Amino acid sequence: MLSEKSEFRVREFVLGIEGLALLRTAVDADDDFVARRVEEIRKFASGSGEGLPGGGASVDELDLGAGYAAWAGRYDSLPSSYIQVEEPIVHGLYDQGPVGTALDAACGTGRQTEALAARGYRVIGVDQSPDMLEQARRKVPDADFRQGRLEKLPVDDGSVDLAVSTLALTHLPDLTDAVAELARVVRPGGRVIVSDLHPFVVSLQGQCHFVTGDDSLAFVRNHVHLASDYLRAFTAAGLTVRACFEPLFNGSLAPGGYEEFIAEAARAAWRDIPIVIVWEAVKPLEGEQS
């Protein structure tokens, strides 16, 4: 379902990035860097920001179903600094095995399904979006794809060795039910791997916009989940956390994105900020304490 249209304020966005860059470098920035930031802030604040694409853009907030239907066709072609820093960690956890049956929950276009299958896992992919599943089936035709929601997975109790959900839980207002479902379908001794947008990024930036098939701007809402929220959800589901990773921004900006027009400020604003959080948890064996 569509919400009412709102405006993505491009000028205010770039001013915010410029201000964050100054805030984070207030002690150790050199005078020339500060002067360039102040000059750009004056230019954009006065409305004379040359090269800045537009003064604003209409943007739709889409629910999960409509959002991923609109996103599906372009999802794999969009560069993502989040995926760049997330995949080496998540794939490294896959490589620790043992290889068995894996669930890719909220599988989207099959990014992780493909990585798991390439490592010899038998993979079940679940997503609520038929459009995303269509893309995933093309990518990994031998996987078992099923339509369903994170909060009610169409998978039997204790039937998989590994349950994975990547960059998806941020779209849920609450983690509890989804994490409980991941724990339910994993056998005792099995693992749960979750990656998500880091709460720092969601708190600072808010929503991640994308271009739909008709070239309009849209977003699916991200929610802030603190580390304590994840820990409570894992504990409530009877899982034991084994590892947590917080990969940092790697300096990569989306080509053609608004931040490219203020690249120096953007890189200074996000430098050394964790942009993704990755969790590995284990379901205790029968009789073990969680």
Given this model, what pLDDT does residue 49 score? 54
Q: For residues 156 and 137, is the Cβ–Cβ distance under 8 A?
A: no
- Residue 44 covered by a domain: no
289 vs 139, 188, 276, 286, CA distance in Å? Answer: 40, 12, 29, 9
Q: For residues 41 and 198, is the Cβ–Cβ distance under 8 A?
A: no
Domain with 184 in it:
59-254+278-282
Given this model, what pLDDT does residue 112 score? 97
- Residue 34 covered by a domain: no
Banded pLDDT at 2 (limits 50, 70, 90): very low
> What are φ and ψ of residue 152, in 5° steps?
-155, 80
- Residue 193 covered by a domain: yes
The SS3 of residue 156 is coil
Given this model, what pLDDT does residue 189 score? 97
pLDDT tens for residues 191-248? 999 999 999 999 987 777 666 656 666 667 889 999 999 999 999 999 999 999 999 9
**Ranges 4-8, 26-30, 148-152, 219-223: which has the least confidence:** 4-8
Give yes or no for residue 54 having a pLDDT over 90.
Answer: no
Q: What is the CATH number of the domain that holds 202?
A: 3.40.50.150
Cα 52 to chain centroid distance, Å, stands at 27
- Residue 41 covered by a domain: no
Given this model, what pLDDT does residue 127 score? 95
pLDDT tens for residues 95-135? 998 999 999 999 999 999 999 999 999 999 999 999 899 99
- Residue 26 covered by a domain: no
Given this model, what pLDDT does residue 20 score? 95
- Residue 95 covered by a domain: yes
Q: Which residues pair with 165 in a beta bridge?
A: 194
Give yes or no for residue 68 having a pLDDT over 80.
Answer: no
Given this model, what pLDDT does residue 179 score? 98
Give yes or no for residue 4 having a pLDDT over 70.
Answer: no
Alpha helices in the chain (DSSP H): 10-24, 31-45, 64-71, 81-95, 111-118, 130-139, 176-185, 199-205, 227-236, 263-270
**Ranges 19-23, 72-76, 237-241: which has the least confidence:** 72-76
Banded pLDDT at 1 (limits 50, 70, 90): very low
**Which amino acid makes up residue 4?**
E
Q: What is the overall mean pLDDT for the chain?
A: 87
Specify the higher pLDDT residue, 70 or 80.
Answer: 80
Given this model, what pLDDT does residue 146 score? 98
Please enumerate in sequence order all residues whose Cβ is within 8 A of that of 131, keeping only pairs 6 or more positions apart, or say none.
68, 69, 72, 73
- Residue 205 covered by a domain: yes
Number of domains observed in the structure of the chain? 1
- Residue 39 covered by a domain: no
Give yes or no for residue 70 having a pLDDT over 70.
Answer: no
Give yes or no for residue 71 having a pLDDT over 60.
Answer: no
Give yes or no for residue 72 having a pLDDT over 60.
Answer: no
Buried b (16+ CB within 10 A) or exposed e, 203-240: eebeebbbebeeeeebbbbbbebeeebbeebbeebebe
Rounded distance, CA 221 to CA 208, Å?
8
Smallest CA-to-CA distance from 202 within 257, 258, 268, 273 is with: 273
**249 DSSP 8-state letter:** P
**Which amino acid makes up residue 107?**
C
160 vs 64, 95, 105, 179, 221, CA distance in Å? Answer: 26, 16, 12, 15, 30
Give yes or no for residue 168 having a pLDDT over 50.
Answer: yes
pLDDT tens for residues 125-148? 999 999 899 999 999 999 999 999
Q: Which residues pair with 102 in a beta bridge?
A: 123, 162
